[in-house]
């Protein structure tokens, strides 16, 4: 019986020959033709028979032509760009991921596709002019990846939780407890008539309990090990899978041949504690995700407008408090956190967060705006259509559009350890077996299998998730929100810390502001207030807070030059607001003021209709504990201040920071990015600490990017973490905790090695009894869990205090 080249099924009903290949049906032949014509036959090299035989009922997806149904399915729909996510149950291997992420080669209307393998989901961006939603689904069906679309409960299905790990953990725990109970008479070799009579029944019961543990609860370890070996990688799951397999085979052989009770208790205990580690890690991430919802990532705050007793008031609120119908102000460069209707102002929306395309889209009053768009231009007022779905913003922050390859060195360390560990264990097992073959051949097999059993690296596999997961949760409780556990390891390796000045090491709400120059007219004050209201720069926000907010004009034209200043106009009045460099570049000469450097101040200059008016001088107030923090960090790290402001504060800063701290001023955003690149080329591991505004490029380029958040509304997906400004002084403590977390993991490895050496001594000598394995294997796992938990809690006490 021949097998289909595409799906591997037997050709029962029909056999189709095409291009010297056999297919079971016309559907499989069509898939091959599609892949072959688009030079995608490498699909078949990744895994043998990866596809699913496509069977599409005619008219099945006609309902996707209904605009109302389409609106329910589409995540984003503007112009010709549409985005949709589907569940694809048939995703099961690397070839599935490869073909689904190359769909743009099958049809030019598909712009991009991202596969979430654990969730078996795909997110597609496509052009509605080139391909309709229905035809997109039909294309997926034709190549064997039919999406699971349930319109009746589509929204509810989005919140479904994968409970498979809980089920696997429950099965392993149930089996572990029962097998331990049945093994007690064997441990202590009790000679009792009835126990001796039912001994064989007990052993077969233990065997029965072990079957679901190996073939259900432990299945993922075999899958991961197989995929690793197929890719030429010895990951941590290889020795674990080997240990589980040998435990099961030897234990089965012992009861079949009536040689003993085997190691079913150790087997079930091993799988149970491994799954317990996974469960803890999963719960940690779920908790953190919830914590992100609750805290709303402090920068994700919005200005809500309300009218009370005829007076318009503005208030800063966290986005999770937004309700349908609330009026929200969105300023230049702010992210729109919910679907909304544009009420006032001219909107120019950059949807690159959602689509990856940075071309701004013009919107007028009454049009719908989608969550994730960023306003480019003046201030707009919108009305929320629904409460914020914070999980969507979390997804945006983690989207690959804004991430670069910041691989965790710890993960590489784990793989290196597992690789060396596997080689060492196999070598010891083989050499020990060879020795006993000559010394006492009857023990050779027992010694070989015993070494593989006792050396299973379950404790190594538990050390990382328990340590880093617990520390991630502790950081979150102390107002440092990190994107993932990899950032903790990266932070421990940092040797250079680069600080922005304004809004980062300065406190925006404590600056003293003075005006020097010609008196501003009422019209100029009014337009100045409206222009500053639309900007998100810390100096703009500080200055706006001291102005009269009752009589302000909304600019007709508004342009913000990042790192320089604003150009704004209303009727016949044109204002330029910004640095002296910005004024001079506009042919507006700023008068020489020699006292400026003596006063050590940052200034915002004003010109009206190309006439210089004067400047607002900021006497910066630096954050509390700045000197102590810099002194603490400078002991083993290089410190740099990288500011876009002038050097008027250089002398004052020199007195606050340790000697040798490098300071650079008048740095544009591009200059900051290039500066970080140069540091990295020199081999430095760089952390950028900024305010998330002009520092986006530098934050993304750095090894770790941290945003200091106070009352800033701009969402920064370029960063790796967000620190509440109130905890700025504790940045050094977060560094120490990150370093000590890695030390805890390494100590856990040493502790695990001690257990393995003790166990190997018994195994190599041919004296490994079931009771020894039953004690050592669970004890090593339990001790690692207890050690990492207590160690991280102990380390975090200073931070909490």
Q: What is the pLDDT of residue 158?
A: 45
Per-residue CA distances from 663 to 118, 457, 489, 624 (Å): 46, 48, 27, 20
Contact status, residue 536 vs residue 713, Cβ threshold 8 Å: yes
DSSP lists the bridge partners of residue 124 as 84, 113
Can you read off the two tokens belonging to residue 206?
A: 């233990």
> Model-level pTM?
0.61
Question: pLDDT tens digits for 200-235?
Answer: 888 899 999 999 999 999 888 888 888 777 766 666
Contact status, residue 792 vs residue 471, Cβ threshold 8 Å: yes
Q: What is the pLDDT of residue 699?
A: 86
DSSP lists the bridge partners of residue 361 as 349
Instruction: Scan for tokens 């999406």, then name that residue.
Output: 147
Question: pLDDT tens digits for 525-578?
Answer: 888 888 888 787 777 877 887 776 667 777 888 888 776 788 889 888 999 998
CA quadruple 603, 608, 611, 612: dihedral, nearest 10: -10
The confidence band for 715, taking pLDDT boundaries of 50, 70 and 90, is low
Region for residue 542 given its phi and psi (left: phi exceeds 0; alpha: psi -120 to 50; beta: otherwise): alpha
CA gap 728, 625 in Å, rounded: 8
If you average pLDDT over residues 52-72, what whole number do you get? 69
Q: What is the pLDDT of residue 716?
A: 62
The phi, psi pair for 101, rounded to 5°, reads -90, 0
Q: What is the pLDDT of residue 226?
A: 81
Question: pLDDT tens digits for 645-701?
Answer: 777 778 888 888 998 899 998 888 788 888 999 999 999 999 999 876 567 778 888
Q: What is the pLDDT of residue 401?
A: 47
Contact status, residue 490 vs residue 681, Cβ threshold 8 Å: no
Question: pLDDT tens digits for 281-324?
Answer: 566 545 444 444 333 343 456 788 887 766 777 777 767 678 88
Q: What is the pLDDT of residue 355?
A: 61
Question: pLDDT tens digits for 429-465?
Answer: 888 888 888 888 877 877 887 777 777 666 666 777 7
Q: What domains can you pick out in the chain, each with its CATH number?
A: 1-55 (no CATH), 56-158 (3.30.70.100), 164-287+407-468+740-800 (no CATH), 480-506+623-738 (3.40.50.1000), 512-619 (3.40.1110.10)
> 10 Å Cβ neighbour count for 734?
22
721 closest CA partner among 687, 754, 672: 687
Q: 47-56, 128-137, 704-713, 732-741: lowest mean pLDDT where?
A: 47-56
The confidence band for 46, taking pLDDT boundaries of 50, 70 and 90, is very low
Q: Cβ neighbours of residue 766 under 8 Å, at least 6 residues apart? A: 436, 440, 443, 446, 447, 450
Q: What is the pLDDT of residue 390?
A: 52
Can you read off the two tokens belonging to residue 208?
A: 């029965």
Q: What is the pLDDT of residue 288?
A: 42
CA gap 700, 298 in Å, rounded: 19
State how far Cα 224 lies from the chain centre: 21
Q: Cβ neighbours of residue 17 under 8 Å, at least 6 residues apart? A: 23
Q: Which of 258-272, 520-534, 771-785 has the highest mean pLDDT?
A: 520-534
Q: What is the pLDDT of residue 296?
A: 39
CA gap 346, 342 in Å, rounded: 9
Q: Which of 81-95, 474-488, 722-736 has the highest mean pLDDT?
A: 722-736
Q: Which of 460-469, 547-556, 699-708, 767-776 has the highest mean pLDDT?
A: 699-708
pLDDT at 30 over 80: no
The confidence band for 483, taking pLDDT boundaries of 50, 70 and 90, is confident
DSSP lists the bridge partners of residue 617 as 514, 603
> 10 Å Cβ neighbour count for 154?
12
The confidence band for 49, taking pLDDT boundaries of 50, 70 and 90, is very low
If you average pLDDT over residues 107-127, what whole number do you get? 84
353 closest CA partner among 382, 385, 375, 321: 375
CA gap 474, 792 in Å, rounded: 9
Q: What is the pLDDT of residue 59?
A: 60
Average pLDDT of every residue of the chain: 77
CA gap 182, 583 in Å, rounded: 85
Collapsing DSSP to helix, strand or coil, 106 comes out as: coil
Q: What is the pLDDT of residue 637?
A: 92
Q: Which residues of 690-716 are buried (b: 16+ CB within 10 A; e: fewer)?
A: bbbbbbbbbbbbbbbbbbbbbebbbbb
Instruction: Scan for tokens 């967060």, then name that residue.
Output: 353
């Amino acid at each position: 019986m021949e097998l289909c080249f595409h799906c591997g099924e037997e050709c029962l009903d029909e056999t189709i020959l095409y291009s010297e290949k056999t297919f079971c049906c016309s559907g499989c032949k069509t898939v091959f033709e599609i892949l072959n014509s688009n030079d995608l036959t490498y699909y078949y090299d990744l895994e043998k028979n990866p596809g699913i035989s496509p069977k599409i009922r005619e008219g099945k997806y006609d309902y996707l032509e209904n605009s109302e149904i389409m609106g329910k399915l589409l995540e984003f729909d503007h112009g010709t760009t549409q985005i949709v996510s589907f569940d694809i149950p048939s995703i099961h291997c690397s070839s599935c991921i490869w073909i689904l992420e190359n769909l743009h080669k099958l049809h030019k209307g598909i712009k991009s596709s991202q596969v979430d393998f654990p969730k078996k989901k795909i997110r597609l961006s496509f052009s509605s002019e080139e391909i309709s939603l229905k035809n997109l689904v039909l294309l997926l069906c034709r190549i064997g990846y039919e999406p699971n679309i349930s319109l009746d409960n589509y929204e509810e299905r989005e919140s479904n939780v994968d409970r498979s790990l809980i089920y696997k953990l429950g099965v392993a725990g149930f089996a572990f407890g029962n097998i331990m109970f049945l093994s007690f008479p064997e441990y202590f070799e009790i000679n009792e008539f009835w126990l001796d009579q039912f001994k064989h029944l007990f052993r077969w019961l233990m065997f029965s309990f072990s079957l679901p543990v190996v073939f259900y609860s432990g299945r993922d370890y075999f899958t991961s090990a197989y995929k690793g070996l197929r890719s030429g990688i010895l990951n941590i799951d290889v020795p674990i899978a080997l240990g589980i397999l040998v435990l099961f085979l030897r234990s089965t052989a012992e009861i079949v041949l009536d040689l003993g009770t085997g190691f079913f208790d150790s087997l079930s205990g091993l799988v149970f504690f491994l799954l317990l580690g996974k469960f803890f890690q999963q719960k940690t991430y779920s908790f953190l995700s919830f914590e992100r919802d609750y805290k709303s990532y402090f920068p994700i705050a919005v200005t809500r407008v309300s009218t009370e007793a005829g007076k318009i008031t503005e208030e800063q609120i966290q986005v999770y408090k937004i309700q349908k119908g609330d009026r929200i102000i969105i300023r230049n460069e702010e992210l729109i956190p919910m679907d909304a209707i544009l009420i006032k102002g001219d909107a120019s929306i950059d949807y690159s967060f959602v689509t990856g395309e940075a071309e701004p889209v013009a919107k007028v009053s009454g049009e719908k705006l989608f969550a994730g768009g960023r306003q480019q231009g003046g201030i707009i007022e919108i009305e929320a259509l629904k409460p914020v779905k914070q999980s969507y913003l979390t997804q945006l922050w983690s989207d690959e559009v804004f991430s670069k390859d910041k691989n965790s060195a710890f993960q590489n360390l784990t793989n290196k350890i597992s690789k060396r560990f596997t080689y060492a264990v196999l070598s010891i097992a083989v050499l020990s077996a060879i020795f006993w073959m000559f010394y006492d051949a009857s023990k050779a097999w027992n010694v070989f299998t015993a070494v593989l059993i006792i050396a299973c690296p379950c404790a190594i596999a538990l050390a990382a998730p328990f340590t880093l997961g617990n520390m991630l949760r502790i950081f979150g409780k102390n107002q440092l929100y990190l994107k993932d556990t990899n950032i903790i390891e990266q932070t421990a390796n940092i040797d250079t810390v680069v600080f922005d000045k304004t809004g980062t090491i300065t406190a925006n709400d404590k600056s003293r502001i003075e005006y020097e120059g010609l008196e501003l007219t009422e019209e100029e004050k009014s337009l100045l207030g409206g222009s500053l209201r639309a900007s998100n720069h810390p100096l703009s926000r500080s200055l706006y807070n001291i102005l009269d907010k009752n009589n302000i004009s909304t600019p007709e034209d508004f342009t913000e030059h990042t790192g320089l200043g604003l150009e704004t106009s209303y009727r016949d009045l044109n204002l330029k607001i910004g640095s002296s460099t910005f004024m001079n570049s506009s042919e507006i000469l700023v008068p020489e003021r020699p006292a400026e450097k003596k006063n050590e101040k940052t200034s915002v200059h004003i010109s009206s209709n190309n006439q210089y008016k004067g400047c607002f001088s900021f006497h910066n107030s630096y954050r509390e504990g700045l000197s102590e923090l810099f002194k603490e960090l400078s002991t083993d790290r290089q410190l740099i201040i990288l500011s876009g402001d002038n050097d008027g504060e250089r002398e004052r800063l020199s007195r606050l920071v340790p000697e040798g701290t490098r300071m650079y001023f008048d740095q544009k955003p591009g200059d900051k990015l290039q500066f970080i690149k140069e540091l990295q080329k020199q081999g430095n591991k760089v952390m950028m600490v900024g305010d998330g505004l002009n520092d986006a490029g530098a934050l993304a380029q750095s090894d770790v990017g941290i945003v200091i958040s106070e009352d800033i509304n701009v969402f920064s997906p370029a960063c790796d973490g967000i620190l509440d400004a109130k905890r700025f002084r504790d940045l050094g403590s977060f560094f120490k905790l990150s370093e000590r977390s890695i030390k805890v993991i390494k100590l856990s490895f040493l502790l695990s090695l001690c257990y393995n050496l003790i166990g190997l001594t018994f195994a190599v000598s041919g004296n490994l009894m079931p009771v020894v394995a039953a004690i050592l294997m669970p004890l090593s796992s339990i001790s690692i869990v207890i050690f990492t938990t207590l160690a991280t809690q102990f380390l975090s006490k200073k931070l909490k205090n």
